[in-house]
Structure 1
C-alpha cells in the first residue's frame, strides 16, 4: 500500500564461512517452489474420476494455490521482520511439506486445504529468496537470479514428468504420488537448517517508498507479470488434461509438460541477457509472447505428430516471458528499495490476477464440454500481456520516491 516502509537490510547477515552451503540451500529451496503446482495436473483426470470433481471444481483446485501466491506474498515481509528471513524460510518449508502431504489425505477436502497451504508457503518463500540473494551475493545477484529461475524450471519439470510414472509404479494410486513431493521439501529444510545458526543480528535501516501504487508504469509491469503468469499456470494445471483428451496417455501428457518446462531453461537464462543488449525490452516481449501463443494454439489445435514442435515453441516462449517479467522489476526501478516494493506489488497483485486463468479454463470446459473455446481465452490473455509488456518494456523508471525513516 502507499506509504508502507521497506527495509534496506534484513535483520540478519550471513556469516560467509560456508557460502557454498547457502548456495546449495537456496537452490534446493527454489527447487521446491513449483512441484506442488505442476505435480497435480498429470493426475487431474484420474483425481476427477475417483473423487467426482467437476471440471469447474478441478479448475478451482488448480487455481487455489496460484491465488494464494498473491494473497500471501505480503505476509513474507511481516514474518521476515519479526523472526528473520532464514527462520521464515525454514518454517515455511516444513509447512509446505505438511500441505503437500495433506493433499494426499482425506479427498477431496484435503486436496483443497493442502493446495491452499502449499500455495501460501510458495508465495512467502518466493518473495524472500530474491532478497536473500541480493543481500548476501550483491556482486553476483544477476547470475544467481538466473540460477534461481533455472531451479524453478527444474522443479516444475521434475514433478510434471515424474508424478504420473510414480503413480503407475505405486499401483496407479494418485495419493502417494502426490504426497511423495513432501520429501523434497523436508530435504531442503534439513540443508537449510545451518543458515539459522550462521546469522547474527545487525542494525536495520528502514525506508519509506511512496508513489508506487499510483504509478502507471508500475501497474504495467504488474499486469504483464500477472497475465504471463496466468498462461503459465494454465499450462501447469491443464495442458496434460488437454493432451490426454486429444489421445495421449497420462504418462505421455506428463512428459510433454515436463519437456516444455525443461526447454524453458534455455530461454530463462538467455532472454534477460539478450534483452539488455538493446535499447529496451519491447521487441523481446513481442517475440516471447508470440512464441508462447503459437505453442499454446499448436498444443490445442495442431497435429499431434508435431507435438514436439509445439512444446518447443511453448517452452522457449514461457521461459522468456517469465524471466523478462522478473528482469523488468529491476530494470524499471530507480533503486533497490523501489525494486523491493515493486517486486512485492507485481507478485502480490500479479499472481492474484493469474489465478483467474486456470479457473476460467475449467469453467469454459464445463460449459462447452470441450477445449475449442480455450483458444480464444489464450488469444485474449496473450494480446493483453503483449500490450502491457510493450508499455513496460520501454526504457523508463517508475516515478516512486524512497526516503529513509
Structure 2
C-alpha cells in the first residue's frame, strides 16, 4: 500500500513538474512582441533586426533540437530538463541588460533552454504516461498557451503601467523559471531513485528518409511560422490600424486566451480519429478567413472576428503538431527523435518568419505584402498537414 501511495505521489510530482515546465515554454518569447517597439527605439534597431529578437530563439531551437535527445540519454531526461530551465533563467537575466549584444546573447540562451524542454517533453510523456498521451499533451499545451497569453498581455502594463521598463518587465518572467527549477530538482531526484536508464536514441537517418516525418516536420514549421509572425508583428499591425500600444498588446493576449479551448480539444479529437484530415481543414479555413480579413483594415467588430479565427488556427495547430509527435511514433524513442527532427528543421523554417515579414514591411511600407505571404504559408501548411494526418508511423 505504501509503495502504491509513493508511486501515486511520484506521479503527481512528475505531473506538476511537467505543467510547470509548460508554464515556462512561451512567456519569455511572447512577452517581447508588445514591447518590441520600445526595445527597437531604446537600442536603435531597424525593423528587420528587431524581428531578429524573436527569430533568435527559433534559430536556437533549430540548433539544440537534434542535440537534446542525446543529452537526455546521457544525463537522463529529468536532469536534462532541469538543465534546460537553468539555461533559460540565464538567458532571461542576460537579455534584460539594455545593450544589443546582451540582448541577442540572452535571447539565444532563452531559445536554447526552451528547446531542450520542447524536445524532451513529448518523449517523457510517451514514456511516463503511455496511456494518456493525448490528455497530457492537451494539458501541457493549454498551460503553455495560458502563459503565452499572459506574456503578451502583461508586458505593456509591467513596462509602462508599473514603470518597470521593458528590461525589468522581461526579467520578471525569471521568477516563474526559479519556481520551476526548485520543483524540478525534486522531480528528477525522486525519479532517479528508481528510474531505469533512458532508451538509447536511434539514428536520425531513418527519419530523414521518411516522407511522413517530413510532413510532420513541415506542418510544425509552418504553423510555428504563423504563430511567431503573429505574436511578433500583429501588435505593430494593430498600431498601424490606429490602436494604442496597450490595446494592441491586450488584443494579442485576448487572441491567445480565445485559442485555449481549441488548444485543449485538438489533441483529444485527434486521438479519437485514426486520421486527422478534418481538423487540418478546419485549421486551414479559419486561418484563411482570419488573416485575409486583416487586409480590409477591419472595424473593431470585424477585427475581433478575424482574431477569433486566427486564435482557432494557432491554438489547434500547435497542440495538433505536438500530438503528431506521439501519434506518428511507435514508442518513446521514436517520439523523442521525431520531436528533435520536427523542432529542429521546423523551427529553422519558422525563424525566417519574423525577419522576413519585417523585411517585407521595411521594403513596402505596407502590411499588404506581409499578410499575403502569410496566406500563402497557410496554404502550404494545409498541404503538409493533410499528409501528416495519415494513420501511419513514421518508420512503417
> Normalising to structure 1: TM-score of the pair?
0.90
Greater per-residue helix proportion? 2
Matching of residue 48 in structure 1 with residue 40 in structure 2: yes
Tell me the distance in 1 between the aligned counterparts of 2:346 and 2:122. 17
Contact 2:57 2:107 in 1 (8 A): yes
Q: Are 1:140 and 2:98 an aligned pair?
A: no
**How far off its partner does 1:394 sit?**
2.6
Deviation track 1:122-181 (CA, whole Å, cap 9, x = no partner) reads 011111122222322223332111101111101100110011101113326211111111
**Counterpart position of 1:171:** 163
* Aligned residue number for residue 321 of structure 1: 317
Change (3 A) 1:301 1:67: farther
Give the conservation status (yes or no) of the 8 Å contact 2:57–2:112.
Answer: yes
Q: Where in structure 2 are the equivalents of 1:261-280 lying within 5 Å?
A: 261-278=256-273, 280=275
Aligned to 2:3: none
Please point out which of 378, 382, 392 is paired with 1:382: 378
Instruction: Verify the 8 A CA contact 1:170 1:177 in the aligned structure 2.
Output: no
CA 1:284–1:150 in 2, change beyond 3 Å: closer, same or farther? Answer: same
Deviates more, 1:291-300 or 1:159-168: 291-300
Instruction: Give the C-alpha shift of residue 302 in structure 1.
Output: 4.0
* Structure 1 equivalent of residue 391 of structure 2: 395
Counterpart position of 1:5: none
- Counterpart for residue 121 of structure 2: 129
Equivalent in 224, 239, 256 of residue 229 of structure 1: 224
Structure-1 separation of matches of 2:198 and 2:72: 12
User: 1:203–1:183: structure 2 CA closer, same or farther, 3 Å change rule?
Assistant: closer
* Residues 94 and 341 of structure 1, relative CA distance in 2, 3 Å threshold: closer
Unaligned runs of 5+ in 2: 1-5
Give me the whole-angstrom Cα distance separating, in 1, the residues matched to 2:264 and 2:57.
26
Alpha-carbon separation, structure 2, partners of 1:236 and 1:55: 15
Do the aligned residues in 1 keep the contact of 2:207 with 2:395 (CA within 8 Å)? Answer: yes
Does structure 1 retain, via aligned residues, the 8 Å contact 2:126–2:331? Answer: no
Instruction: Give CA deviations for 1:16-39 in whole Å, capped at 9, x if unaligned.
Output: 543322222211111000011100
**Residue 338 of structure 2: aligned partner:** 342
Preserved contact between residue 289 and residue 321 of structure 1 (Cα < 8 Å) = no
1:89-108 equivalence runs, <5 A: 89-108=81-100
Gaps of 5+ in 1: 1-13, 401-405
The equivalent residue for 1:28 is 20
Contact 1:243 1:299 in 2 (8 A): no
Q: Aligned in 2, Cα 1:398/1:205: closer, same or farther, shift over 3 Å?
A: closer
Matched, 1:19 2:15: no
Shift of 1:358: 1.0
Q: TM-score, normalised by structure 2?
A: 0.92
Q: Which residue pairs with 2:145 in the alignment?
A: 153
1:161–1:257 CA contact under 8 A, matched in 2:
yes
Moved more, 18-27 or 204-213: 204-213
Q: CA shift at 1:327, angstroms? A: 2.4
Q: Which residue of 2 aligns with 1:72?
A: 64
CA shift for structure 1 position 300 = 4.8
Once residues 142 and 223 of structure 1 are traced to their aligned partners in structure 2, the CA distance between those partners, rounded to angstroms, is 21
Contact kept? 2:133, 2:326, Cα under 8 Å: no
The root-mean-square deviation of aligned C-alpha atoms, in Å, is 2.0
* Larger CA deviation: 298-307 vs 110-119: 298-307
Q: Which moved more, 1:304-313 or 1:219-228?
A: 304-313
Aligned partner of residue 212 in structure 1, secondary structure: helix
Bigger shift: residues 60-69 or 324-333: 324-333
Distance in 2, matches of 1:228 and 1:158, equals: 21
**Separation of aligned partners in 1, 2:32 and 2:295:** 20
Are 1:39 and 2:34 matched, yes or no?
Answer: no
User: Which runs of structure 2 are paired with 1:362-377 in the superposition (5 Å)?
Assistant: 362-377=358-373
Contact 1:134-1:141 within 8 A present in 2 as well: yes
